[in-house]
Amino acid sequence: MKAVPSAGKKPGALSYRPDIDGLRAVAILSVVLFHAFPGRLPGGYAGVDIFFVISGFLISSIIFKGMVNQNFSIVEFYVHRAKRIFPALIIVLMACYCFAWMVLLPDEFKLLGKHIASGAGFVQNLMLWREAGYFDHASELKPLMHLWSLAIEEQFYLLYPLLILLAWRSGLNLLSILLLLLATSFGWDLWLLSKDPTAAFFLPQGRFWELLSGGCLAYLQMFHREKTSRFGMAIILRQHGFSSGFDLNGLTEKLNTVLSCAGLALIALSIALLNKDSLFPGAWALLPVMGAFLLILSGPIAWVNKHILSNRFMLFIGAISYPLYLWHWPLLSFAYIMQGDMPSTVTRVVLLAIAVLLSWLTYRLIERPIRFSEAKGWWKPAFLCLLLSAAGYAGYNAYLRDGLDFRPITKMNLDVRTAVVGVERDRYAEDNCGVSDDGKKFVSFCHESKGVRERYAVWGDSKGDALYWGLVRQAKQDGGWLMLGRYSCAPMVGVRRTSTYSATDYDPAECVRSNELAFQDIMSNSNIKVVVLATAQRILLNASYVADASAESSWQAVISGLTEAVRRLESAGKRVIFVVDNPTLPEAKSCLAPRWTEVPLLNAWLQQKKGNPDCNMSYQKYLHDSQEYRTLVDELHARNPGLLIYNPVPLLCDLKRGVCPIERKGSFLYSYGDHISDYANNMIGRDLIGVLGSPGL
């Protein structure tokens, strides 16, 4: 007896089931509303899992029918997949590229280019896995993030038909193989979820069971339709004492209605209970998967399927579900990128309406004519492959060329790429500062100039590190630079910090150890003639300090710790410079909006939003906010007359206009947090090195 159905036995007909289009509508509406209103429908992302079950059911049905009829062709299968998937995808990828050309800044366009390439290659899930996760804060900045699910489907269908064909021709028990694969994939999913939730979400191995559940259902529906429809009712009746000969025909419809109601309830539960913190997929994915399974199993005459899933609205949404899935997220994401935050409710509703219109046009003018064309031959799928490859290449080219910064939009806006610090650091310095490998656990910043003997040293915290990269770039051949220091750790001797500046700071004892190592290294290096001290004013004023030898106040302890460092360095014949901290302005990227684009209509919309008023600080406000800090610096100088105080504020602020801006000549003066950028540290580096070249230094 054969383990597979006889080739002579005709399977159940693959007639059109409107309720499956309606189930598609449930899936796409869940996903779209989740993306547009995540707070209102936190579990809507489970709609993707419904799609997986539907896809597994329909594609498996096609494969099984071809196997039984002995006319299944692997080549024809992939041709049909290309005609089904490629046209709408090509249109959306090209539209995203063209629109992004006019509205995205170079770093944004570079990221989109990478995702266009990975989307065209159906590896977007792997790309997102490497980058972060589906729910990370940057997901709104990725217009093609949603292509991860399409990638998983296509990866599945690269292997699945070949496996089915091999099992069929080998006479193996096909259902047993499907169930074994399903169990293996689900087990892998559960195991991986406990180890790496992001990998479990994106990697195909842990998602295949959802498609395979649709495949198992297709097998049962095609080869055991009657048994499937009567089996559940027979069990129920026998449990209640009825004989096995009880007439089941009249109760089949009621059973199907019960199954469909149960399926709909499971899907509703998944949408209501899931959120971004749920460990998903795993066991939670059983809710939408089993819900979709039961709805398909119940058949088109079940009450839910017939009256809810098969109504005209659901059929319309189901028909355009694929292009709607492709269109909706890029529109929402582009709006988020251009506005700098979540678009208004009205804007999101308008964008969803536009997505529906674009989806209908794509379906009517692109998808249907190509998909159902009677034309034979290789040229159409070959042309589609060529177009998809061209789109992928265009995206990859944008990625390789750093977002094509020659585009007009680059000149219309601040260049966000200038809001960085330490670019090309390997070109100028190496991670070595004379501290042992064990010591580097405490000394976070440990660099020295390449190929030049050090003559100068920077000792400080992250503010010192931000300054260092300008100094090392502008350095002359006769004087290299050393950098030693630690995050949130002011350069002091004989004083220790007793509090943390923030919840993420390192332990104060490690700061003490870092300062000990840095100080010893500088003191023992006779080549170093000048030491630059640089630290954040917030580290001096907002933390608590205690001097080892006295019970003086925290303020006086700060002065004592800095003074002790200065005096010991000066006693060793080294000149000491204290760098005044820069003004504190907002995060640079918060000052990008409102942006200008090449689209006048978009400009009118974007310019309605007011920019961040704190991106330009008046000089008077700076003086007011820094009064306590400047008093501390004055007292430090009074105690150490030989100490040179270097103040970069006149370079960073426009004293004639009385303003301290966040940018100059289209480049940001600041990078992350309150740290200066490479543009600013180059400017300060040139000036400070000029001071070092003055007589007496």
Q: How far, in Å, CA of 266 to CA of 162, rounded?
A: 33
Query: What's the chain's average pLDDT?
Result: 89
pLDDT digits (tens, 9 = 90+) for 518-539: 999 999 999 999 999 999 999 9
Q: How far, in Å, CA of 525 to CA of 660, rounded?
A: 38
Residue whose structure tokens are 């580097």: 440
Supply the pLDDT for residue 417.
76
Q: What is the largest CA-CA distance in the chain?
A: 111
Tell whether the model's pLDDT for residue 638 goes beyond 60.
Answer: yes
Confidence of residue 8 (pLDDT cuts 50, 70, 90): very low
567: enclosing H helix or E strand: helix 554-571
Q: How buried is residue 451: exposed, middle or buried, by Cβ count under 10 Å (0-12/13-18/19+)?
A: exposed
Instruction: Please report the sign of the dihedral spanned by the C-alpha atoms of residue 335, residue 339, residue 340, residue 342.
Output: negative
Supply the pLDDT for residue 44.
96
Cβ–Cβ < 8 Å for 264, 25: no
Cβ–Cβ < 8 Å for 667, 679: yes
When pLDDT is averaged across residues 417-433 and rounded to a whole number, the result is 85
28 vs 72, which has greater pLDDT? 28
Which range is most confident: 248-257, 645-654, 664-673?
645-654
Give the pair of three-digit tokens for residue 189.
């999913």
pLDDT digits (tens, 9 = 90+) for 309-320: 999 999 999 999
Alpha helices in 9-147 (DSSP H): 18-36, 47-68, 74-103, 106-120, 124-131
Supply the pLDDT for residue 134.
58
Tell whether the model's pLDDT for residue 622 goes beyond 50.
Answer: yes
DSSP state of 415: B
Supply the pLDDT for residue 255.
85
Tell whether the model's pLDDT for residue 694 goes beyond 70.
Answer: no
Supply the pLDDT for residue 437.
83
When pLDDT is averaged across residues 154-170 and rounded to a whole number, the result is 93
Residue whose structure tokens are 């509406």: 29
Tell whether the model's pLDDT for residue 664 goes beyond 50.
Answer: yes
The DSSP secondary structure of 276-304, one letter per residue, reads TTS-TTGGGGHHHHHHHHHHHHH-TTSHH
Kindly give the interhelix angle for 106-120 and 379-400, rounded to the nearest 10 degrees: 150
Confidence of residue 1 (pLDDT cuts 50, 70, 90): very low
Supply the pLDDT for residue 696.
53
Residue ranges per domain, the chain?
A: 18-233+248-411, 425-585+618-693
The set of residues, in sequence order, having a beta carbon less than 8 Å from that of 383 and lying 6+ positions away, is none
When pLDDT is averaged across residues 561-571 and rounded to a whole number, the result is 97
Q: Are strands 644-646 and 659-661 parallel, antiparallel or unpaired?
A: unpaired
Q: Could you give the C-alpha distances from 674 to 93, 188, 592, 621, in angstroms and in order?
A: 38, 45, 16, 16
Tell whether the model's pLDDT for residue 128 goes beyond 90.
Answer: yes
Q: How far, in Å, CA of 588 to CA of 384, rounded?
A: 42
By residue count, the chain amounts to: 697
Tell whether the model's pLDDT for residue 504 goes beyond 50.
Answer: no
Give the pair of three-digit tokens for residue 358.
């674009």
Strand partners, 534: 460, 579
Supply the pLDDT for residue 503.
46
Confidence of residue 551 (pLDDT cuts 50, 70, 90): low
When pLDDT is averaged across residues 335-357 and rounded to a whole number, the result is 94
Amino acid making up residue 3: A
Q: Which range among 327-336, 479-488, 600-609 shows the weakest confidence by mean pLDDT?
A: 600-609
Supply the pLDDT for residue 665.
83
DSSP state of 67: H
Tell whether the model's pLDDT for residue 7 goes beyond 50.
Answer: no
Alpha helices in 196-251 (DSSP H): 197-202, 208-223, 225-239
Give the pair of three-digit tokens for residue 324.
């709607």
Tell whether the model's pLDDT for residue 433 goes beyond 90.
Answer: no
pLDDT digits (tens, 9 = 90+) for 200-251: 999 999 999 999 999 999 999 888 766 555 555 454 445 445 445 545 455 6
Tell whether the model's pLDDT for residue 136 goes beyond 80.
Answer: no
Supply the pLDDT for residue 14.
63
pTM of the model: 0.74
Q: Are strands 616-618 and 545-547 parallel, antiparallel or unpaired?
A: unpaired
Q: How buried is residue 525: exposed, middle or buried, by Cβ count under 10 Å (0-12/13-18/19+)?
A: middle
What percent of the chain has pLDDT above 90? 66
φ, ψ at 577 (rounded to 5°): -125, 130
Tell whether the model's pLDDT for residue 507 goes beyond 80.
Answer: no
DSSP state of 6: -
Supply the pLDDT for residue 234.
52
What percent of the chain has pLDDT above 70? 90
Confidence of residue 374 (pLDDT cuts 50, 70, 90): confident
Range 340-363 burial, b when 16+ CB lie within 10 A, else e = bebbeeebbeebbeebbebbeebb
Q: How far, in Å, CA of 535 to CA of 519, rounded?
A: 15
CATH architecture classification, 425-585+618-693: 3-Layer(aba) Sandwich (3.40)
DSSP state of 246: S
Supply the pLDDT for residue 548.
72
Give the pair of three-digit tokens for residue 263.
């399926």
Q: Could you give the C-alpha distances from 597 to 164, 167, 214, 685, in angstroms and in order?
A: 51, 56, 46, 34
Q: Which range among 120-129, 208-217, 685-694 shows the weakest confidence by mean pLDDT?
A: 685-694
Supply the pLDDT for residue 27.
98
